[in-house]
Amino acid sequence: KIETEIMMAKQQLEDHLGKPVSIFAYPYGSKDSRVISALIGDGFSAAFSTIPGKIQCDSFIMTLHRTRIGNGALASYGL
């Protein structure tokens, strides 16, 4: 079931965007080893959690932290 849900969402995004999708964002940050294995098996190259923080060189590529972007200027976030 996990693989089916992931692949259906991936296909919908690719159809809408007209481009391949290889990065995943965990819904509500919910993840476990089964989901991570399914993502890797389905060809995803990276995934983001909902845990705030910075990405470091040794960060696990399938559980990357996320930076919340509010209403401030992008320059204030280093973008």
Query: How many domains are contained in the chain?
Result: 1
Does the residue 78 lie in any domain? no
* Sign of the C-alpha dihedral computed for residues 49, 55, 59 and 62 taken in this order: positive
Residues 62-72: pLDDT tens digits?
Answer: 999 987 777 87
pLDDT for position 79: 63
Q: How are beta strands 46-52 and 23-25 bridged, if at all?
A: parallel
Beta bridge partners of 66: 52
pLDDT for position 12: 97
Does the residue 45 lie in any domain? yes
Does the residue 73 lie in any domain? no
Place of tokens 């996990």: 2
Residues 21-57: pLDDT tens digits?
Answer: 999 999 887 888 999 999 999 999 999 998 888 888 9
- Domain span at residue 40? 2-67
Does the residue 26 lie in any domain? yes
Does the residue 76 lie in any domain? no
- Give the orientation angle of helix 2-17 with respect to helix 33-41, to 10 degrees: 50
pTM of the model: 0.77
